[in-house]
Amino acid sequence: MNEKQRTIKNEVSISGVGLHTGRSASLTFKAAPENHGYKFQRIDLDGKPVIDADVDNVTDTSRGTTISQNGASVSTIEHLLASLVGMEIDNVLIEIDGPEVPIMDGSSSFFTEALDRAGYVIQKLDREYYTIPHNMHYTEPEREVEMVAMPLEGYRLTCMIDYNSPVLGSQHASISSIDEFKTEIAASRTFCFLHELETLVDNNLIKGGDLNNAIVIVDKDVNDSELTSLAKLFNRKDIKVAKEGILNNIELRYQNEPARHKLLDMIGDLALIGVPLKGHIMAARPGHAANVAFAKKIKAAIKKERSKKRVHLYDPGAKPLYDVVQIMDILPHRPPFLFIDKILELSKTHVVGVKNVTMNEDLFQGHFPGTPVFPGVIQVEAMAQTGGILVLSTVPDPRNYITLFLKIDNVRFRAQVSPGDTIVFRCDLMEPIRRGIAQMKGVGMVGEKIVVEAEMMAQITRIKESETTL
């Protein structure tokens, strides 16, 4: 039984301070319809611009993940997105009145608890997973980052961190199901090394920083005066180094809390792919930049797969609906300007035609004879002739009519066509034919590869009215 999409049942709000901006912000989770996904709305800005939580909108990964669209940005989104994935919410609008998601305690706990209070509603449409089809790799040799996605029926994540630190050491974390997120991952807080904290403070970059929302790992010798300065900065009576090698501002919730938090960040950043995954994601030394780069790679694979599904593959050797002789009973074109060899399909809204490209065609005598390439303009003409079969099928006697181009838009040539190739054209009406005007979307393919596509507008004209054809 297919799983259904979910949104939240009741609105719920959270307020807090942004880690990097130091600005207070309130956000509200709101229910959203099917296939809406995750979207942020900056209600504090003119026009209340919406920002899609999409990996293509990522503009910064230096100190968290930032997305920008429609002239607006929202930063440090990863902990919130991880909570939505972990609670298996598919569609939600997040209204926010500031530029940064509140850091809260540095984990996903507050967001997860809020979503728990909101409850969820099962929607009508099925949840569409992307199942990892084969091993997919991403590496950054200079940072020793390695990530791999492997086929698996489920969502499993494994993370390893190693900062060459005698204090932190090498740590691993994993979950075998997203169901474990709430209890095993959500409460894991962000962390930083003491030298990083001091640099950030010196550069006024963590204006909302508080020792309550981060684990500070002491990776160098510190004296009492440095600890006193930190205590004063963060309004503490005193600060010491605990036996685990961290500042004693907080106690670890898990022995491997840093590794668990890196896994949390992975879940949040990979949410920007836009669809839930089925697979096993393994990562060594990941960070926001690597997570986003890997998310883009997976999204590109999804886009490629979906484009193949949208374009039906045809057998050019199948028995034709019309052969070339029958085509000449419909179209006024004749060799050497007839570029369609057969029609495979024809309905009220679409047509499929075939062009066999051979070296003995006249055009190759003058068009790159040493490196024969089938001209792009002829590809468009062949596509138009295929569309002409569709358009002329709507008139009583096609022999009394011709079709004339009015406009061609969005023409793209995606791959070279050479002698020996067979192009299969499919043209679909973009809207019903009105007053003799037809608008079509055309795609030409060689095997599974799209070679040309275009949008065409043509007019049906009686031959008596004009003797000019394309």
**8-state DSSP, 446:** E
d(CA 278, CA 2): 14
79 is catalytic: no
136 φ/ψ angles, rounded to the nearest 5 degrees: -125, 130
Burial of 438 (0-12, 13-18, 19+ CB in 10 A): buried
The residue type of 148 is V
* Catalytic position from the list 36, 172, 350, 367: 367
Joined tokens for residue 21: 């901006």
Q: How far is CA 297 from the centre of its chain?
A: 9
d(CA 417, CA 93): 46
Q: How far is CA 345 from the centre of its chain?
A: 34
Half-sphere exposure at residue 248, Cβ-oriented, CA atoms within 13 angstroms: 9
Joined tokens for residue 337: 């300007």
Nearest CA to 17 among 217, 210, 219? 210
Contact 77, 101 (CB under 8 A): yes
* Catalytic position from the list 20, 79, 288, 333: 288
Burial of 395 (0-12, 13-18, 19+ CB in 10 A): middle
Contact 181, 157 (CB under 8 A): no
288 is catalytic: yes
In 135-253, alpha helices (H): 194-202, 224-233
Contacts of 441 (CB under 8 A, 6+ apart): 427, 428, 430, 453, 454, 455
Nearest CA to 299 among 91, 88, 56, 69? 56
Q: Residue 166, Cβ neighbours under 10 Å: how many?
A: 8
d(CA 150, CA 281): 6
Question: Dihedral of the CA atoms 193, 196, 198, 201 (nearest 10)?
Answer: -120
- Cα end-to-end distance, the chain, whole Å: 53
Exposure string for 285-304, b = 16+ CB within 10 A, e = fewer: bbbbbbbbbbbbbbbebeee
Half-sphere exposure at residue 349, Cβ-oriented, CA atoms within 13 angstroms: 4
Residues with a catalytic annotation lie at 288, 367
